[in-house]
Structure 1
Amino acid sequence: MLINADFSLRAIVTPEEQRWTASPQPGVERVMLDRVGGEKARATSLVRYAPGSSFQAHEHPGGEEILVLSGTFADDESEYPEGWYLRNPPGSSHSPSSPKGAVIFVKLWQMDANDQVVTRIDTHAPATWREVDGQQMCPLHVSPRERVCLLRLPAGAEVLNPAEDDCELLIVSGALVEGNQHYAAGSWLRFPAGGFTTLHADEGGATVYFRQGQLIGLGDLR
């Protein structure tokens, strides 16, 4: 299966374009934002858990990255309410579930094999935020290949991509504007290196997941 699989092209999926489809696990649905592969795939998705739904224990050979957008996500270790960010390294395993329901943003099979850091960050905690280059930022992950953070943008503030790397955004709250185009909360945007455009927060501001660096495909994994 190939969905937005050409990383040399920009890709945008707005909430109006999202199509929720059933996963093999009852009570779990997903929106496939990009995907290379079948059921075990290099994938970026929104995943919705019905209350009480769960997966059996399974491994993630290429790692897994999660941002909890609403509700409460759970695994073998703990429960993670809205705002928690998790990284499970390549070779890790878990039994995910959601006792009360949840929506999460998930990236699978997009980590270097040497990236063995386990991350758990409560992005609602004030101590996780700092000012960087005039922007309110919550750093989530830094490695030679990628930098991941949340940005809080006041009205009119521009999203900066100084290195002009590949980058990816998910609008967590508020909205971004590109020319005459308005991207509401839930919109997902991906830009190839050199293809980044001018994006700024609308009059209500925005909170944005922002990933900058090399887009890792299955063929890049070492």
Structure 2
Amino acid sequence: MKLNADLSKRALVYSQSLTWVDSPMDGVQRRLLERDGGEMASRASTVVRYQAGARFSPHSHDLGEEFFVLEGIFSDESGDYGQGMYVRNPPGSRHQPFTREGCTIFVKLGQFAPHDRHVVRVDTQRTAWLPTAKEGVWIMPLYRRDEHDSEYVFLLKWAADADIEPHVHPGGEEVFVLQGSFADEHATYPQGTWLRNPAGSHHQPYTREGCMMYVKTGHLGAAKELSRAAESATGVPGREG
């Protein structure tokens, strides 16, 4: 299967309008956002819903797993992860996930650099928001391997009526809207929207009701030197927004 598999093209999915599709495991359903391959996809981004008591068989992640808990409590043998938890399990990691009460997660598979061995656990409900240079814009860093790494994962929060100056994403941008909505010259993006803008894309986003989103930048192409002008425009280092 190839679904939004061309990383050089813009992709937009309103996930809450999709039908839940049964997975091979009982009690586990999915909404597919992007996929390259079959059940053992080389790359996938998915919203996954576990019914209460659902359990996945033990499995490994050759190129890593990244997930954010949207609702409920997701568990494996290493612990319980409640709403707002951000987790990265590196290439070669193995686990047997389950849930007691049910949960929904946003999960990305097969998208790590092979040498990335960092295990990450961030409880975003207990982590402070950091102000940016842009009034009404806050950031919560989730992952950056080091200062030289172009890939950057973070939460972004915009106050109501925030307007962001036009800016470019030299290494691309991926967004999943967690709360509220935002818009740009291309479309409007309500809660549950998954958006992937390719390397070199540009836009001028804004929000009227306020918005909180998961964002990843710099992972869709060879990121170039980021200019101070773009940092000033978005209020976030690295042209995030």
Q: Do both proteins adopt the same fold according to a TM-score greater than 0.5, normalized to the shorter chain? A: yes
Report the counterpart of residue 162 of structure 2 in structure 1: 157
Report the counterpart of residue 191 of structure 1 in structure 2: 197
Identity %: 39
Q: CA separation of 1:158/1:112 partners in 2, compared to 1, >3 Å: closer, same or farther?
A: farther
Deviates more, 1:172-181 or 1:102-111: 172-181
Q: CA separation of 1:16/1:71 partners in 2, compared to 1, >3 Å: closer, same or farther?
A: closer
CA distance in 2, matches of 1:168, 1:159: 17
Opposite residue 211 of structure 2, the aligned amino acid is: A
CA distance in 1, matches of 2:191, 2:59: 31
Mapped contact 1:52–1:101 kept (Cα < 8 A): yes
Report the counterpart of residue 146 of structure 1 in structure 2: 151
Report the counterpart of residue 136 of structure 1 in structure 2: 138
After TM superposition, the runs of 4+ consecutive aligned structure 1 residues lying more than 6 A away are: none
Q: How far 1:158 sits from its partner (Å)?
A: 4.3
Q: Deviations over 1:104-157 (max 9, x none)?
A: 000000001111000000001143x21233331110111314100001111132
CA distance in 2, matches of 1:2, 1:36: 5
Q: How far 1:159 sits from its partner (Å)?
A: 5.8
Larger Rg: 2
CA distance in 2, matches of 1:72, 1:159: 34
Opposite residue 88 of structure 2, the aligned amino acid is: R
CA distance in 1, matches of 2:219, 2:24: 30
CA distance in 2, matches of 1:158, 1:116: 37
Mapped contact 1:15–1:184 kept (Cα < 8 A): no
Structure holding more strand per residue: 1
Q: Structure 1 unaligned runs (5+)?
A: 217-222
Two-structure CA RMSD over aligned residues (Å): 1.7
Mapped contact 2:86–2:121 kept (Cα < 8 A): yes
Q: How far 1:163 sits from its partner (Å)?
A: 4.6
CA distance in 1, matches of 2:75, 2:164: 32
So what's the TM-score if we normalise by structure 1? 0.90
Deviates more, 1:162-171 or 1:32-41: 162-171
Report the counterpart of residue 182 of structure 1 in structure 2: 188
Q: How far 1:5 sits from its partner (Å)?
A: 0.7
Q: Deviations over 1:138-187 (max 9, x none)?
A: 10111314100001111132467655321100000000112373221000
Report the counterpart of residue 229 of structure 2 in structure 1: none
Aligned positions of 1:106-121 closer than 5 A: 106-121=107-122
CA distance in 2, matches of 1:201, 1:159: 9
So what's the TM-score if we normalise by structure 2? 0.84
What SS is found at the alignment partner of 2:202? coil
Report the counterpart of residue 173 of structure 1 in structure 2: 179
Q: Structure 2 unaligned runs (5+)?
A: 222-241
Report the counterpart of residue 26 of structure 2 in structure 1: 26
Aligned positions of 1:38-53 closer than 5 A: 38-41=38-41, 42-53=43-54
CA distance in 2, matches of 1:88, 1:157: 34
Q: How far 1:215 sits from its partner (Å)?
A: 2.8
